[in-house]
Structure 1
Amino acid sequence: MKIIAFMVVLLLTSCKNDKMDKKVVTHKTIPITTSSEKAREHFEKARFLVQNGINGNPVEHYEKAIKLDSSFVRMYNFISMYSQDDSIKKQNHQLAKRYKHLVSKEEQMLVDATEFRLNNPDDIYEAKLFELTELSPSDKYLHHSICFLLFRKNPSLAIKAGKKSVELDKDYGSGYNILGYAYINNNEFDKANEAFDNFIRCEPKNANPYDSKADLMLKLGNYKEALKLKQKAYKLDKSFDWIPEEVVDIKAKIDSLTNK
């Protein structure tokens, strides 16, 4: 699975004069509060790239979105949720908190959930995000985020969220991907295989589904199938530059088993 390493997002301190009114009603999906429609588009493009493991440049979209709307809470919160760098998480969370009063109740709950997560790194329940699903039950991205946050720490609970995301959209490739890894970590390998097959169905020209299924095949000791899938992924996207080394290792493993 491709995990994108995030670069530092510029620290912007100015607040736009045209503040948005607070939303007081609940929504079936979480609103994206911004003063700029173009900023919203960059947010959605970045989210697609990150969640689908596509080798675009999400940082470019982060920076463009924030340049257009320096009080863009959803963008800051997204970065603080998905970044693998603790300093970037904290920096962007502080910015989200600064402008939290400008956005909807649901978006404020996202920020509160991040605050709890940063202060309680051993938490394995994401109770605040599950509470948010009661207000925004049709938000597939929210269910995906819960699955992403828990697929290592609490795979059985991650599966609950991941299944919901693909029930809402049966063609949600990224939803199947993270669900597949949750199944692997829960030792439900047949279900993981089905999830990755659905990921391939949804995004046959994306390298990531083949790379993900190859990881499952390696886990199961099916090295020949893993080799085919890794080679397929690399053929589709040469930027998956870790694959050639993996291919060498897989071939060596196949040779060692053949020569026993």
Structure 2
Amino acid sequence: MKKITLMKQVLLTVLLLGMVTPLIGQDLYLPATTKSKEAKVLYTEAMDAFYDVEFAKLEKLNQKALEADPNFFMGYFLQSFSVDKESRKAALDKMANYSGKMNKGEKVLKQFAVNVKADKKYNAIPEMRQLVKLYPKNIFAKTMLAYNLGGEKETRPEALSILDECAKLNPNVASIHNIKGYLLLSDKEFDKAKVAFDKYIEMAPDKANPYDSKGDYFMAVNAYNEAAKSYKKACEINDEFTMSKTKAKEAKWMMKREKVASEVKVLADQLVADYNSMDMAKYTKHYFRGPEFCFVLNGKTTESYSDFTKSVFDNREKYKEWKVEVLDETIQIPAENIAVVSQVFSYSGTPIEGETWGVKGNFTTVWRNIDGNWKVVEAINTNPLKE
């Protein structure tokens, strides 16, 4: 008797699972028209890869689906997400010119392809709204609408609201929090974005994309070391995540830039301090003595370090005091051994003969690391500054 009861329970469980699976699938995947069972299975697997942002896997699965059914409309739709520009274009052509049997949702997507072909900047919001109207509980339709709405600041609140609806409809879809995180990043809502990305990692800890996304968050808040670690984690989970490898290199470069900028900032401040001390021996030591040296003062160029120092010392003899105050400063690092410092300054000076005067100007210096020492190789001093 117990064996029969147990068997009934197993059969009931299988039956229930069989009933639940199509419902879950209906919520996650747009209905697809095909007579090929193989294409249908591959389509759902490809859509799973889409949700996991595993586009290399998606393309492989989708290619197999199109081989199983060369006239598979939803296969062309998924192909339109290809990283290859020509492949995307070919897919949109197939969709726009499709003449086979289609369901209502596929007809909407065909119209989308027609509109995109006519206008590359076309926003798919109208079609995505139609899809949501056709399939009001479909997570994919809703997230696609949210994604398109999220592109503009004015419609971003609606996008976030839709994503919250999706999370309630199906709390098991981790990628909802991914899209939400990026929309919040766009609004510079960094704390909220962090919560969304952390939730994404919590729900899909074995997937690469959550760590890639968290890396993007770290980059946005200038935490480059943490970003590099997060991108590295993504690569360790999935070595096909080549975008994470590229981003990791960028994060490491940003770390170097910060370090260089910090070093040069100290030297640029010291250069100003030495100038204000009126100790020209200290001041001129910041400049490179080699042939690359160039100093431009109000359009007049001095290409000799000795000529430059002579003019500086001669000028010193004419003044009782002077004062330079940096009002604004930017530091750019185009390469590891190059830094460009641009300063807006105010200058006041009291000559030995004459009245105190003041001016506002700009001082741009190009610093180069030569044998481990940062020196100014080029400088342009412009005053008065025309605003």
| Contact 2:46–2:61 (CA under 8 A) maintained in structure 1 | yes
| One-letter amino acid of the structure 1 residue matched with residue 135 of structure 2 | S
1:149 shift after superposition: 4.1
| Contact 2:59–2:79 (CA under 8 A) maintained in structure 1 | no
The answer to whether structure 1 residue 32 and structure 2 residue 36 are counterparts is no
Change (3 A) 1:93 1:237: closer
Count of paired positions: 233
Partner of 2:79: 79
Partner of 1:201: 202
Partner of 1:104: 103
For residues 127-138 of structure 1, the aligned pairs below 5 Å read: 127-138=126-137
Instruction: Write out per-residue CA displacement over residues 29-62 of structure 1, whole angstroms, 9 at most, x where no aligned residue.
Output: 7322111111011112222223322364333222
Of 34-43 and 171-180, deviating more is 171-180
For residues 25-64 of structure 1, the aligned pairs below 5 Å read: 30-54=30-54, 56-64=56-64
Of 120-129 and 249-258, deviating more is 249-258
Where has structure 1 moved over 6 Å in runs of 4 or more? Answer: none
Partner of 2:323: none
Distance (Å, rounded) in 1 between the aligned partners of 2:128 and 2:197 = 25
Change (3 A) 1:238 1:88: closer
Of 196-205 and 96-105, deviating more is 96-105
1:257 shift after superposition: 7.3
Of 169-178 and 227-236, deviating more is 227-236
| Contact 1:140–1:164 (CA under 8 A) maintained in structure 2 | no
Change (3 A) 1:258 1:150: same
| Contact 1:72–1:96 (CA under 8 A) maintained in structure 2 | no
| Contact 2:228–2:252 (CA under 8 A) maintained in structure 1 | no
Instruction: Write out per-residue CA displacement over residues 181-222 of structure 1, whole angstroms, 9 at most, x where no aligned residue.
Output: 122112222222122112101210112111211211221123
The answer to whether structure 1 residue 245 and structure 2 residue 246 are counterparts is no
Q: What secondary structure is seen at the aligned counterpart in 1 of 2:60?
A: helix
Distance (Å, rounded) in 2 between the aligned partners of 1:86 and 1:232 = 28
Distance (Å, rounded) in 1 between the aligned partners of 2:48 and 2:111 = 24
1:168 shift after superposition: 2.4
Larger radius of gyration: 2
| Contact 1:93–1:114 (CA under 8 A) maintained in structure 2 | yes
Higher relative CO (Cα under 8 Å, sequence separation at least 6) belongs to: 1
Partner of 1:6: none
Distance (Å, rounded) in 2 between the aligned partners of 1:214 and 1:186 = 17
Partner of 1:229: 230
Distance (Å, rounded) in 2 between the aligned partners of 1:119 and 1:62 = 26
Partner of 1:139: 138
| Contact 1:231–1:247 (CA under 8 A) maintained in structure 2 | no
The answer to whether structure 1 residue 67 and structure 2 residue 67 are counterparts is yes
| One-letter amino acid of the structure 2 residue matched with residue 30 of structure 1 | L
Distance (Å, rounded) in 2 between the aligned partners of 1:158 and 1:69 = 35
Q: What secondary structure is seen at the aligned counterpart in 1 of 2:188?
A: coil
Q: Which has the higher strand share?
A: 2
| Contact 1:55–1:239 (CA under 8 A) maintained in structure 2 | no
| Contact 2:194–2:214 (CA under 8 A) maintained in structure 1 | yes
Partner of 1:118: 117
Change (3 A) 1:92 1:223: closer
Q: What secondary structure is seen at the aligned counterpart in 2 of 1:102?
A: coil
| Contact 2:224–2:251 (CA under 8 A) maintained in structure 1 | no
Distance (Å, rounded) in 2 between the aligned partners of 1:126 and 1:153 = 11
| Contact 1:79–1:92 (CA under 8 A) maintained in structure 2 | yes
Distance (Å, rounded) in 1 between the aligned partners of 2:163 and 2:120 = 21
Change (3 A) 1:31 1:239: closer
1:141 shift after superposition: 1.2
Distance (Å, rounded) in 1 between the aligned partners of 2:200 and 2:34 = 31
Change (3 A) 1:169 1:63: same
Q: Which has the higher helix share?
A: 1
Partner of 1:192: 193
Partner of 1:90: 89
Distance (Å, rounded) in 1 between the aligned partners of 2:247 and 2:128 = 35
Partner of 1:10: none
Of 83-92 and 250-259, deviating more is 250-259
1:258 shift after superposition: 7.0
Change (3 A) 1:124 1:104: closer
| One-letter amino acid of the structure 2 residue matched with residue 246 of structure 1 | E
Distance (Å, rounded) in 2 between the aligned partners of 1:125 and 1:58 = 22
State, as a whole percentage, how many aligned pairs show the same letter.
24
1:253 shift after superposition: 4.7
Q: TM-score, normalised by structure 1?
A: 0.76
1:129 shift after superposition: 1.2
Distance (Å, rounded) in 1 between the aligned partners of 2:89 and 2:70 = 17
